[in-house]
Chains A and B, each alone.
Chain A
């Protein structure tokens, strides 16, 4: 995040960045903390989303070493820290990005919303989870696993208990990843037989997560 040397007004809606253009309906300027430049914010988010995708692909890639992944994560952390400086003012813009179609941008926005550690920001992610289908749901899986979920543990447990299977199994996965398995894991046997292949796939991943050695340590 760049600090401005003067207090002159900033352009409100940068539009040159695709797909992470901050929505005109959610301008950053009103109420934004001094020194936040929307173009720079959008650039940080765009970079974060790109690196997020790189990191996910690198995890099992023959072209990357562990040290390369560590460098990617350092860069991700730097962009994240910049994005967090905007604080609460960025929630509408991040929510707008999360409502978009680009999976990496959705993941990035959801992760930053969770990382803000502001209840109403984190709640937006749960709301998105409950509305999401197919690709959007897939894009929300990783931020829920990697981002902090302390503020939304209760709604995640509620979702695991009573939401439709696609959202419930995604909530279960997040809880399992954070070593907070929910009693609803008993339903995994149902989920691995669900008619929706996305549910079946996620359920099998939870099986592996919960049954690996370290996870058992943590339980």
Chain B
């Protein structure tokens, strides 16, 4: 048996892909797939799979975003018949199945397809696809062998070359026994439930057949979720794609893995214990500027303990821990609302407590801000109006001015350019009127910034609408969650030639 997929429309129209009996192939947009369609932006990274057995061919959607259709019908799994039309993204295929079981024969699934896919896959190379010799017009789009290679620690030479070290993915917990897989620069390893994965966890029922992939290239280690059903989590945060750091914990299904990056990198050369000790000492540093810089370093190095550390200090509600309090507001999750609200109501922290509410961006504390704007304390009213603007994007200045207040707290996060000699008091009625207009919609959000819902990774368009402080905070949040592809240098560097 053999199936030929002829591309009848789409970016690679006219080409043919062949999968022979006993083999399978994945089709998708990225190089994770065996047949890659990089120009089809509506195709998922790994979109569908074709398995060609002895008596039947099976097509299986791999949790694609836009679905796989066979003869116009969305399928999750289906027998592939001769001349079936397959739609995936912008690409349309026609399947030509040769030596198919004639119509009326017993359902081939009963005898073949119901068997685990692995049963049809020969031992040997990790990607077992053969370009067909026939038909002659078929153009194999196969990569020259797969870059994927099953490797073990013993496979890896001691000298790792100029790329600097190797990466070891260690399975530390889950239904399957502990196992290590090492990658050198240029290698990729896929983790999943089936033996299609280079690191397979067949006993983990919550893991997808191909769950995520880790690629190591020139010192950078990237993880991509392969449209898994239950998601991939790095240090507790769900990710689709992220750059990994040494010590990152990855959870997929019931399985936990830890990444070790050997050689290169700051603090990687230090033992985990000494790195933790450095951070611990810095968090207790007598100089608030050192504490603040170490907190940002903890964000950019994605220290897994950071959020919990901030929660602990936030509970003390002391101006001494202002940096950590503000950091919790920036990184906090919806469940931190009660603690953040308590800070917003702690009058002993002064007007700057409203800055925390602004950075957190949750709509619930807006009532506290409205109350402060209507109060007698001018300094508090001004701070509350700034937080209101940060959340809603609307300035509610009145025509009343008061002398500029002195610095409320010494540990300022941002020096304001050109401090004004007087400040403008807000108009609480304008603020309330605006809030009444938008409240119904914004109250559905968990974080609002400049009137925009902040959910997941912010688009470039969204970032361009944020003020520089909010933009910085949003990017830091993404960095901490592992979804940021920017560097600190990129954010700070001048953009002039």
Contact = CB atoms under 8 A, between A and B. Distances in A.
A40 interface: no
B282 interface: yes
B115 interface: no
Interface in A152-186: 177, 179, 185-186
A63 B282 contact: no
A192 B470 contact: no
Contact of B468 (A65, A80, A205, A206): A65
Interface stretch (B42-50, B76-84, B310-318, B482-490): B482-490
A213 B487 contact: yes
B371 interface: no
Given A62-B469, A208-B300, A215 B267 contact: no
Given A204-B297, A210-B265, A193 B281 contact: yes
A217 to B, nearest CB: 6
B416 A206 contact: no
A194 B204 CA distance: 48
B63 interface: no
B390 interface: yes
B282 A211 contact: no
A207 interface: yes
A201 to B, nearest CB: 5
Interface residues of A, number: 51
B113 interface: no
B493 interface: yes
Interface in B252-311: 264-267, 269-270, 274-275, 278, 281-282, 285-287, 289-290, 293-294, 296-297, 299-301
B266 A57 contact: no
Interface stretch (A12-20, A24-32, A70-78, A92-100): A70-78
Interface in B444-497: 463-464, 466-472, 479, 484-497
A172 to B, nearest CB: 10
Interface residues of B, number: 62
Contact of B278 (A189, A206, A219): A189
B366 interface: no
A204 B468 contact: no
A2 interface: no
A197 interface: yes
A59 B472 contact: yes
Contact of A61 (B245, B269, B469): B469
B43 to A, nearest CB: 26
A60 B490 contact: no
A54 B486 contact: no
Contact of A216 (B243, B299, B471): B243
A211 B293 CA distance: 14
A146 interface: yes
B289 A197 contact: yes
A63 B484 contact: no
Contacts of A77: 496-497
B487 A217 contact: yes
B416 A61 contact: yes
B300 A212 contact: yes
A128 interface: no
Given A62-B467, A200-B287, A211 B301 contact: yes
B220 A62 contact: no
B489 A214 contact: yes
A58 interface: yes
B269 A205 contact: no
A57 B287 contact: no
A79 B410 CA distance: 34
B133 interface: no
Given A206-B266, A208-B299, A213-B479, A58 B417 contact: yes
Contacts of B414: 57, 60-62
A213 B468 contact: no
B264 A64 contact: no
Contacts of B492: 59, 145, 177
A19 B493 CA distance: 26
Given A73-B495, A200-B285, A208-B296, A65 B270 contact: no
B485 A200 contact: no
Contacts of A214: 485-490
B99 interface: no
A145 B323 CA distance: 25
A141 to B, nearest CB: 11
A69 interface: yes
A59 B468 contact: yes
Contacts of B297: 204-205, 207-208, 211
Contact of A60 (B389, B413, B479): B413
Nearest to B261: A216
Given A76-B494, A201-B293, A214-B490, A62 B266 contact: no
A96 B360 CA distance: 47
A188 B414 CA distance: 26
Given A60-B414, A62-B470, A204-B290, A216 B219 contact: yes
Contacts of B287: 197, 200-201
22 contacts: A57-B417, A60-B413, A60-B414, A61-B467, A64-B417, A74-B496, A76-B494, A177-B493, A186-B269, A188-B267, A200-B287, A201-B287, A209-B488, A210-B265, A212-B484, A213-B220, A213-B484, A214-B485, A216-B219, A216-B220, A216-B487, A219-B164
Given A212-B300, A213-B485, A216-B265, 6 more contacts: A54-B417, A63-B416, A77-B497, A185-B266, A207-B300, A211-B245
Closest 3 CB pairs of A and B: A214-B487, A208-B300, A57-B417
